[in-house]
Structure 1
């Protein structure tokens, strides 16, 4: 059974309770409002209650709810239920009787009794079904009735849309359903099947609408299945064939019958294609040569989808990025109908800027250049702006040599610009260059400056601010600014200058020295193979780069490098330092590297008495590796072992207990500096 999701709102108006109000019992009360200039009589209606909500349960899993609408009396109201709740409305209620006392602001009490109905079964009798005569027919029927329920009225809804009928006719073969709901909208739904005595007739159609030119070239072709062949056909235009052709626009129906007399009726529509109409929205390019134009088409009529073929190769309804010019488009709809249209795009502006006259300056440094321009094709007003800030003029005079550009813009937003170079007749160009000539051997520095000249007419006259004249190259010996004036044979001149630097110090090498020492302090003064040696330099600040060569083919650019010699020999270590002028200084030292000799000295006794002298047994070793030592008592039991050269040695104990004085045996194994594996055994005396 389907649970009811909708509930009927019930209005229960019970007899009004008669309240004792000034010893008078009435349904409508009148009273005087005190405290006013004069008195007025107010009349109040008795309290009335409308009850709605879900007041019946469809199943034991459901809960009901009560909604109260209170009128009359004098608000506000207070509520007291027989379940001691004090809210106006109630939810999540089981079936049962609920009583509420409603008290208004004047103390009048109204009692309302409300029943939430318990679930009650709704059981239908089996559906009585009459099958259809044909699979394509609609002459089946069904009948439903209630076996157990709450009683009339019931609401009946059939799946074909028929309502409030216990019996329904005109059912096609297939699955159907009926829903019956009681007075509280608790319902139950039953499905049933209407069968057919034979398979129904079905038809699939292919319709050919009229062509673009109109006329009577429509057609309807059928594909029929089901029923019992052969079939007969009766068209609305009188035709008795399966397919019809040569028909005009309109509606056509056909009745198809099989050999058992079952029939099937179908309706079809032959259409005339709606002619296409084209509307356009054109955005012309603002400026000549700009590809900002666009044509947007809207198609009405015909049969979608449409295809587009533009004269510029585009294939969409919107042609974009168009320059000024002529365009055409061929539009074809799904029926093959076509329409062609032409468009012309004209720019709103044809702005152009051309040079009328240009004159260069007569001589370098003079300001007598000239430019005259003409502007045409502007749309509306225009603005002219030059690169040097001058505005509103097309003609310029008294110009110095250099590059100038001008931009013109009209009211359409189009812009055009041009650039010009004003040259001097025989312009002279000069540039001062300099260098420092350093003699590292003597420690001397000479500044050298020269002037490069281009243009003008030779011969040149050269005047330096140092007093030198007619010399392209001069020497200088201090920091400062050099100036030179160049005049050519035509009298044109140019002045150029440059700052030059001259160092305060000379190029003699600064202090350079270095020392070396072992990185790990040992009691062996000689440098041995595979020891880390740090070279500590003393380098003056004028040196900006340095390089070490260690004499064994290896080098470093660290200031204080660490180096390891991997073989014995005498190595000349060289430190070379370079200053900013490329001059170098060299310091050398000779480093003697030896191969360490292994040595092991084993004592024959020790006294573990805690006086700090000879308290443990450990040999003295030098230049050995892979060291291990074991101690045995006279019974051959091992009582101590170690593999560390850093071990303090045996302290004369075994398992935490002091070993007795006496003789013990040791076994020592190690690897010599030459890589030979050796062992030593012997006795040791523990003295207490």
Structure 2
């Protein structure tokens, strides 16, 4: 058989310039790149076929020149990249935006056979032996015919790579994969047989217990080969099983009657002792439950189990107070160890009040507080609520409440609150009153000092005013001050603003009016009607009271009242000023029983003289009504339902109605709730 080797050529030209370049066949499909002056091309893709059923592909990476580029293939395709290609030569002309043309020839290699020679092999002597041998070789392949080709890649199923021969093979089936420079591959499988069935042995091992270090056991179960078997241990023993073993490595050679043998090694491990490490976080302060214990075991055999004296079964305990904690740790072999942990507070602060010294006088600053601190860790800081000291002893204090907080190095804190009292509190306040003669309007101001606490007798000094007087008079507005000194020398000053009126309310105006709240064409006040009393009261009056003459009263400024019976009532408004003086205003109101009255005129003269200028019925004791006016053709030309309406003025749609006769219809509700209706004629006279 004759094989043809194809070469790849590439050229580029611009107008009449032609260049030719030689290149080496790459080790991989996507590894060659060319530079052609101003336009360069990198060719990748699948440029060689492994079988006749495969298709190739060409991928072009273009640079240089001036984009965009156009492409023209010898197969009349105009795409940049090609796929689904058979073996052969493909030429592409690449033209940039300035008209430069680059020609590229790419060859898709045809399939090339990769054939292996028959496997040379030698079977293993025994089923348990590892003395088999195999050799692989290539009969014909692409790498042998193409210049500068890399070696074939060889991969064995047992893990060997890039070797053609393998020895020390155990019985079994093996596969070898051979690949050429284009990753085209062929594989071969073969079997290494054994001259006889191999020896197999499984073991059961019992490790020594934690109570005794010489109780290990190795028990063998042997199969395959040709019995009987002989055993040779590295300890010199020839029995199948071993007992009473101490920790160590034990090797045995098992041989059958045909001389085939198997070697195995076993390990007996001593149970390691359990070492217990701990990570502790001591509770910060006395009574706090922020301690933590974590057990960190080593040695033994995991997993471990835990049993605490608290009943918990995990390796870590949290939220612990101070105290003694014990735990039993047991490993997977049953070995156990106990551990005791003591937690102690980092600090146990105690702040005690040793002495309090109240101030000698109320408002004085000669009081004192002494404190004692115990159980602090390291240095500590003291904070007073007034922010004026960092010491445990204070003097020159005023009376009041003091909170002292102490924090030590561990962050624990303790606080206490001390109430520092005055020795005897001296209190004084100025009280005032005005004596008013309501008849004459004369006003006299009086002021006196009320004193509590301290020690009598008191020395009193007014400003302005007398000394050693409990009470003084004043006649103008201003500030009154008084100084009080008790028998102990404690002093107190207080002041008060007093207001002195210029005049009383003599001549102040007090008046009121009244009106009905319901809309009605009847001006009389009727029973069960709401009547609003509107007062006119001067600012001098600060309080007032109404008496309505029917036994009822009100303190509202503008009350609404309903009279339930007819009659004449005297309504009284009484006003009070800041001095307690009063003024009175009286008014009489007549309350009637509603009576029905309906009077309907038969003519009207809308001439603007103010007399009889509109048509409106006279209604009394009527709560609601509807008035309609019609012309002689029955057309409605006016309607009203308002008790305040002035009636029909003789117009219709803004135009004067002609004189003549018209019809009306009046519907109304009587005081007892009965609906009534009247109708008739009316004459319009102009």
TM-score class, shorter-chain normalisation, is 0.5 to 0.7
The counterpart of 1:495, out of the listed 484, 492, 507, is 492
Among residues 58, 62, 69, which one is paired with 1:78 in the alignment? 69
Q: Where does 1:266-285 land on structure 2 (aligned, <5 Å)?
A: 280-285=278-283
Task: Tell me the residue number matched to 2:26.
Answer: none
Task: State the distance in 2 between where 1:317 and 1:546 align.
Answer: 84
Contact (CA 8 Å) 1:432, 1:496: kept in 2 or not?
Answer: no
Taking a change above 3 Å as real, the CA distance of residues 679 and 345 of structure 1, as seen in their structure-2 partners, is: same
TM-score, normalized by length of structure 1? Answer: 0.52
Residues 103-147 of structure 1: CA distance to partner in whole angstroms, max 9, x if unpaired? 2578124479999xxxxxxxxxxxxxxxxxxxxxxxxxxxxxxxx
Report the Cα distance in structure 2 between the residues aligned to 1:659 and 1:366, rounded to whole angstroms. Answer: 102
Counterpart selection for 1:539 from 534, 537, 543: 537
Equivalent-residue separation in structure 2 for 1:652 and 1:356 (angstroms): 105
May I ask how many residue pairs the two structures share in their alignment? 488
Contact persistence 1:485–1:494 (CA under 8 A): yes
Partner of 1:293: 291
- Where does residue 20 of structure 2 map in the other structure? 27
Q: What is the SS of the residue equivalent to 1:427?
A: coil
Structure 1 Cα separation of the partners of residues 426 and 211 of structure 2 = 85
Which residue number in structure 2 is paired with residue 430 of structure 1? 427
Distance across 1 between alignment mates of 2:360 and 2:576: 53
- CA deviations on 1:14-70 (whole Å, 9 max, x unpaired) are 9767665574544339xxxxxxxxxxx986897454458xxxxxxxxxxxxx99432
Aligned to 1:69: 60
Structure 2 SS opposite 1:541: coil
Structure-2 change in CA distance of 1:298 and 1:372 (3 Å): same
How far apart in 1 are the matches of 2:371 and 2:364?
22
Query: How many angstroms apart in 1 are the aligned matches of 2:601 and 2:377?
Result: 115
> Alpha-carbon deviation of 1:76?
5.1
The reply on whether 1:103 has 2:95 as its aligned counterpart is yes
1:468-617 map, 5 Å? 479-488=478-487, 491-505=488-502, 508=505, 510-517=508-515, 525-529=523-527, 533-551=531-549, 558-561=556-559, 563=561, 565=563, 568-580=566-578, 584-604=582-602
Contact 2:349–2:412 (CA under 8 A) maintained in structure 1: yes
| Counterpart for residue 217 of structure 2 | none
Deviation (angstroms), 1:78: 0.9
Contact 1:628-1:642 within 8 A present in 2 as well: no
Quote how far apart the aligned CAs of 1:539 are.
Answer: 1.7
> Quick one: distance in 1 between partners of 2:58 and 2:437?
111
| Residue segments in structure 2 that go unaligned for 5+ positions in a row | 1-5, 23-34, 47-56, 84-89, 109-206, 213-220, 224-270
Check whether the contact 1:547–1:557 (CA below 8 A) recurs between aligned residues. yes
Over 3 Å counting, the alpha-carbon distance change for 1:678 and 1:14 in structure 2 is: farther
Which of the pair has more CA radius of gyration?
A: 2
Aligned to 1:447: 446
Structure 1 residues 293 and 601, CA gap change in structure 2 (3 angstroms): same
Between the aligned partners of 1:615 and 1:485, the Cα distance in structure 2 is 85
- 1:357, 1:651 → 2: CA distance? 104
What CA deviation, in whole Å up to 9, does each residue of 1:336-382 have, x standing for no partner? Answer: 99986543222333444445666556677876655555544443333
Q: For residue 116 of structure 2, what is the aligned residue in structure 1?
A: none
For residues 631 and 425 of structure 2, what CA distance do their matches in structure 1 show?
A: 107
CA contact (8 A) 2:9 2:106 kept: no
Whether 1:380 aligns to 2:378 is: yes
Q: Structure 2 length as normaliser, TM-score? A: 0.52
Equivalent in the alignment of 1:463: 460
Relative to structure 1, the CA distance from residue 597 to residue 498 in structure 2 (aligned partners, 3 Å threshold; closer, same or farther) is same
- Does the CA-based 8 Å contact 1:68-1:89 persist in structure 2? yes
- Tell me by how many angstroms 1:592 deviates: 1.7
1:574–1:493 distance in 2 versus 1, CA, 3 Å: same
Output the CA distance in 1 between the equivalents of 2:351 and 2:407.
10
Alpha carbons of 1:106 and 1:603: their partners in 2 closer, same or farther (altered >3 Å)?
closer
Q: Is 1:275–1:302's contact at 8 Å kept on the other side of the alignment?
A: no
Q: Which residue of 1 aligns with 2:197?
A: none
Separation in 1, partners of 2:563, 2:82: 98
Question: Deviations 1:222-271 (Å, cap 9, x if unpaired)?
Answer: xxxxxxxxxxxxxx999xxxxxxxxxxxxxxxxxxxxxxxxxxxxxxxxx
In structure 2, the residue matched to 1:349 is 347
Alpha-carbon spacing, 1:78–1:607, altered in 2? closer, same or farther (3 Å): same
- The match for 1:268 is none
Report the Cα offset of residue 437 of structure 1.
Answer: 5.5
Q: After the TM superposition, which of the residue ranges 665-674 and 410-419 deviates more from structure 2?
A: 665-674
In the other structure, the counterpart of 2:323 is 325
Distance 1:340 1:445 in 2: 96
Rate the CA distance shift 1:112–1:666 in 2: closer, same or farther, 3 A.
Answer: farther
Query: Equivalences for 1:100-499 in 2 at 5 Å?
Result: 102-104=94-96, 107-110=100-103, 280-296=278-294, 311=310, 319-328=317-326, 341-354=339-352, 373-387=371-385, 389-391=387-389, 393-397=391-395, 406-420=404-418, 427-436=424-433, 441=438, 444=443, 446-454=445-453, 456=455, 459-465=456-462, 479-488=478-487, 491-499=488-496
Structure 1 regions of 5+ residues with no counterpart? Answer: 1-12, 30-40, 53-65, 92-97, 116-209, 216-235, 239-272
Q: In 1, distance between residues paired with 2:274 and 2:395?
A: 63
Whole-angstrom CA distance in 2 between matches of 1:428 and 1:632: 94
Asked if the contact 2:14–2:100 (Cα under 8 Å) also holds between the matched residues in 1, the reply is no
Say whether the 8 Å CA contact 2:8–2:107 is kept in structure 1.
no
Distance 1:581 1:650 in 2: 59
- The separation in 2 between residues aligned to 1:575 and 1:237, in whole angstroms, is 129
Residue 672 of structure 1 deviates from its aligned partner by 3.2
Deviations 1:403-430 (Å, cap 9, x if unpaired)? Answer: 5554443333333444556667x63523
| Residue 619 to residue 463, structure 1, CA distance change in 2 (3 Å) | closer
Secondary structure, aligned partner of 1:27: strand
Once residues 419 and 582 of structure 1 are traced to their aligned partners in structure 2, the CA distance between those partners, rounded to angstroms, is 50
Return the alpha-carbon distance in structure 2 between the equivalents of residues 555 and 85 of structure 1: 114
For each residue in 1:513-565, what CA deviation from the matched residue of structure 2 results, as whole angstroms up to 9, or x when unmatched?
22234568987554345666443322222333444444456665554445555
Q: Which secondary structure state, in structure 1, belongs to the residue aligned with residue 591 of structure 2?
A: strand
1:600, CA displacement in angstroms? 2.9
Contact 1:14 1:112 in 2 (8 A): no
CA contact (8 A) 2:9 2:105 kept: no
1:278–1:585 distance in 2 versus 1, CA, 3 Å: farther
User: Do the aligned partners of residues 371 and 26 (structure 1) sit closer, same or farther apart at CA in structure 2, a change above 3 Å counting?
Assistant: closer
The aligned counterpart of 1:140 is none
Give 3-state SS (helix, strand or coil) of 2:453's partner.
strand
Q: Residues 493, 588 of structure 1: CA spacing in aligned structure 2 closer, same or farther, 3 A cutoff?
A: same
